[in-house]
Amino acid sequence: MAKTVLLGKDKEKQLKEQKKIAKAKNKKQRRGPIRYLKDVWNELKKVTWPGKKELLMATLAVIAFILVMAIIIGVFDYGLGQLINLILK
């Protein structure tokens, strides 16, 4: 099979046509707020919500992480404060 090679303006013209086609495909139609809310509701139906036990474990993990990070940051803050006080005196 022989390839067709486009030269100059023919190639530019073809590229412009391809861009127009791609732009038309990607262009989304504007939807009203009712349609938007229906789409949101349909997506929420697909969500698998965690059970009570799974939710409790995730909540406890987040609280534990926050406490550990607060302690670490507090220790660094205290240490750096003492170091600055030592340097400035």
Helices (H), ranges, 6-51: 9-26, 33-46
pLDDT tens string 25-40: 766 666 788 988 999 9
pTM: 0.51
Segment 67-85, tens digit of pLDDT: 999 999 999 999 999 999 9
Domain boundaries, the chain: 49-89
Taking the C-alpha atoms of residue 64 and residue 59, their distance in angstroms, rounded to an integer, is 9
